[in-house]
Structure 1
Amino acid sequence: MEKIIKGRAFVLGDNIDTDQIIPAEHLVYSLSDPEESKNYGRFALSGVPLSQSGLPKGGIPFVDEGQYQTKYQIIIGGSNFGCGSSREHAPFALQVAGAKAIIAESYARIFYRNCVDGGFVVPYETSQKLNDKIETGDELELDLNGNTLRNLTKNETYQLRPLGDILPIIEAGNIFEYARQNNMI
């Protein structure tokens, strides 16, 4: 597992729900078929209105039309990220698209657990509002050991809340790998 995640930021607002992360009409693809599951990446965050996507600029798609992968590896959200239904397709779609981490003020509990349990993306929390300090396209560096986010574009560093008890699960890859490694199953 990467301890340093580098990549470009994609900035969103508050209350990004699972229907915005992966709209219900795109839940028809197999999660286990590699060819079909690419479509989850293709349609990741396609339910976010373009006027809100890529805030503060707006109008920036997470995945360019006709592509399956994003050029943004770190999502910056506001509060209540992943609210809505409990589908695990949402963090899966972000992972398939190429996102490695989400940094938000708060998460819907089930979305957060789906991120961790499935090993899809690293869900970090921050005590400060970052979606008004970071812009889509900024180059970022996330340090899992130091719990810091560096904005390389603006030469700013932000302290994040420690991952705590979920770090070993993330390091193992998912909840089942963690359980195997610790002789729980």
Structure 2
Amino acid sequence: MNRKKHEHHTLLIAFQPPSIHDTASFRNHNHTRRLVKKMTKKAKAHVYRRDHINTDEIIPARCLNTDNEKELAEHALEDLDPGFTTKVKTGDIIIAKKDFGCGSSREHAIWALRGAGIKAVIAETFARIYYRNSINNGLLAIECKSAADHINTGDNIEINLKTGKITNTTTGKTLKFTPYPKFALDIIASKGLLNYIKQQKDNKMQQNK
């Protein structure tokens, strides 16, 4: 693993993967299986062939007076793609090039996309903090070097989280990415780090009764 790639995953590897002998692990494993199944269904792509799409473009600073996801979603990408909110549907996916999410570390940039129904962002690379925030907030952030070159807006794609494959079902093109480790999938399946930690604590309390 090169140094740059390691930096992208610094926060994730700080967590201890759940033991397969732990009740909480089995419960989270079921969440993960449902997530994998869900994310192998078809999703429509919104493609932006640009590097350095920053957090101000994802959600403008003028809209940061709320943390309500639905309210933020109304302004998602409005400076980059003014018609985005009229086109996006729940389950859709964004595809971009290098350094997606650079700029401010605001989590509003995650909440706006999540509120709009976006289930994953695929980019050649992500800004380090944005990548961490995505996982912590239960939004898939997948690094795939050539996705933006082989997928067009409106194409239907399938993501297989287990095998690390992205299939453009419109063209038949298949791309590869490095699959998430299981414990990262558990965090995403729990819809974020805080929910994951709460579930772990709740499960341990049940075991100790």
Q: Under TM normalisation by the shorter chain, which class is it?
A: 0.7 to 0.9
Q: Which digits, 9 at most, give the CA deviation of each residue in 1:56-95, with x for residues without a partner?
A: xxxx73212xxxx723711111110000000000011001
Structure 1 unaligned runs (5+)?
32-36, 51-59
1-structure distance, mates of 2:35, 2:187: 13
- Match status 1:154 vs 2:177: no
Could you tell me which of 1, 6, 17 is aligned with 2:54? Answer: 17
In terms of fraction of residues, the more helix-rich structure is 2
Partner of 2:76: 44
2-structure distance, mates of 1:8, 1:135: 10
Partner of 1:54: none
Deviation at 1:168, TM superposition (A): 2.1
Q: TM-score, normalised by structure 1?
A: 0.81
Which 10-residue stretch deviates more, 142-151 or 94-103? 142-151
Q: Please tell me the residue identity of whatever aligns with 1:169.
A: I
Partner of 2:66: 29
Deviation at 1:2, TM superposition (A): 2.5
RMSD (Å), alpha carbons:
2.0
2-structure distance, mates of 1:43, 1:129: 28
Cα contact 2:150–2:173 (8 A) shared by 1: no
Q: Which digits, 9 at most, give the CA deviation of each residue in 1:139-173, with x for residues without a partner?
A: 11111122211101001111111112522211222
Cα contact 2:100–2:125 (8 A) shared by 1: yes
Q: Please tell me the residue identity of whatever aligns with 1:47.
A: D
Where do 1:1-185 residues align within 5 Å? 1-3=34-36, 4-5=38-39, 6-12=42-48, 13-31=50-68, 37-48=69-80, 50=81, 61-64=83-86, 70-71=88-89, 73-119=92-138, 121-126=139-144, 128-164=145-181, 165-183=183-201
Q: Secondary structure at the match of 1:131?
A: helix
Q: Which digits, 9 at most, give the CA deviation of each residue in 1:119-157, with x for residues without a partner?
A: 1x211111x222121100001111112221110100111
2-structure distance, mates of 1:160, 1:63: 28
Report sequence identity in percent.
38
1-structure distance, mates of 2:35, 2:189: 8
Q: Secondary structure at the match of 1:182?
A: helix
Q: Secondary structure at the match of 1:39?
A: helix
Structure 2 unaligned runs (5+)?
1-33
Deviation at 1:181, TM superposition (A): 3.2
Q: TM-score, normalised by structure 2?
A: 0.72
Count, aligned residues: 164
